[in-house]
Structure 1
Amino acid sequence: MSYNARQYQEKRHFIRMQIDAPASLRLSSGEEIDLTCLDLSSCGVQLQSDKPLPLGASAELCLSSCGGPVAPLSAKIKLCRHESISDSEYRTGAVIESFL
């Protein structure tokens, strides 16, 4: 890693972990959506879904532990950023408001 890249990386307040794990999202309307959590930090997540998610919405995220010894992670999140990758692939950034 170059010196400049390391300096930039160290400016992040929280490390972002690439996890690519199955997750489910429950919107305030009660709708449940299966998706993938691409990365996770202590204050946010990046999600991948096959349909756009409603920006500004609050939701409950449940991140599977994939059967390991760690309990699933549940958090209240707010959807804040959206990127269309293709007609059937969307990435959404969310802020973690609290852990449940």
Structure 2
Amino acid sequence: MKSFNDKRNFYRMMLNREVVVTVIDDEANANIAATCRDLSATGMALEMEQPIELGTHIRIKVDSSGEQIQALDARGKVVRLEEESDNCYLLGIAIEEID
């Protein structure tokens, strides 16, 4: 049973891991470095130096930390954007597909 403070359907795993973000909606498909703060079955929080607009579709690649763990390649949509400080943005990503 979930506690009053945690109304999420899935637990979040704290990662603090470097990831590569590709903006799918952008013709250039530029790769952007980011840090994945946490990950759950349906979403993740990314820390970046530049904002990405709400509703933008992105691809996120998280390299494996070892041979026994498969790399994560997911597609999602930006559903939350917060400016934490100068050149530091926190993005909430809804995962739409995992390859």
Aligned residue pairs total: 95
Matched, 1:53 2:52: yes
- The whole-number CA distance in structure 2 between the counterparts of 1:31 and 1:97 is 20
Q: What corresponds to 1:19 in structure 2?
A: 15
Gap change, CA 1:7 and 1:68, over 3 Å in 2 = farther
Letter matched to residue 72 of structure 2: L
Gaps of 5+ in 2: none
Gaps of 5+ in 1: none
Q: What corresponds to 2:85 in structure 1?
A: 86
Is the radius of gyration larger for structure 1 or structure 2? 1
Compare the two structures and name the one with the higher helix fraction: 1
Q: Secondary structure at the match of 1:52?
A: coil
What is the aligned-residue RMSD (CA, Å)? 1.6
TM-score with structure 1 setting the length:
0.86
